[in-house]
Amino acid sequence: MAKNHNPNLAKIHRNYSIEEVANLYQVHKNTVLAWIKNHGLKTIDNLKPILILGSELRLFHQNKRTKNKRKCLPYEIYCLKCRKPQIPAENMADYIPMTDTTGRLNCLCPQCENLINKYFSLSNIQLITSKLTIAFPEGKKTHNLEGQPPPKQ
C-alpha cells in the first residue's frame, strides 16, 4: 500500500543523494529510483552520483499527496472501499445523533454495498435534504431545520 510521505522532511536548500532520500523517507533506494524513472522526480542532471534538489523532492511529495485527494459535495459520502465520493444508495441516509448539534449520516454505497458514513452538523442538514432522504431516530426533535417540516420516515 502506498504511503503518504511528509513533504516537509526535505530541506529545500539541500541536495540529496539516492541513499539520503531513502533514509529520509525510510524506503528502499530502488523505490527512490522508481520515483525518478516512473513518477517524475527530477534530478539535477544525468551525471553520477545522482543528486536531487530538496525543493524538487518536497514538490514531488506535495503533488503526489494532492493528486489523490477527492473532494466530496455536501450530499456525497466518501467510500473507503471504492476510493471515491458516492451518492448513497437510493438517496437515503440515517442520521445518528452524536451530540445535540452534530451527528453521523449512515448509508450504503451504491456500488459495493459497503456501509459508509459522514459526520454532519444538524444545522447544515437543509443543504442535503433536497438530494437525500434523511431518516431521523424516533423522538428526535428537528427544530434546527429552520421551519422545515420533519423529514418523512
pLDDT band at 153 (very low <50, low <70, confident <90, very high): very low
Instruction: Provide the grid cell at 102.
Output: 452534530
Given a cut of 90, whether residue 26 has pLDDT beyond it is: yes
pLDDT band at 73 (very low <50, low <70, confident <90, very high): confident
Given a cut of 60, whether residue 143 has pLDDT beyond it is: no
Q: Which residues pair with 118 in a beta bridge?
A: 105
With beta carbons less than 8 A apart as the criterion, state whether 116 and 92 touch: no
Closest by alpha carbon to 9, among 23, 38, 63? 23
Domain residue limits, the chain: 7-67, 77-145
Residue 67's H or E segment, with its range, is helix 54-67
pTM: 0.54
How does pLDDT run across 97-134, given as a tens digit for each residue?
Answer: 888 888 898 999 998 988 998 888 888 888 888 888 88
Q: Which CATH class is domain 7-67?
A: mainly alpha
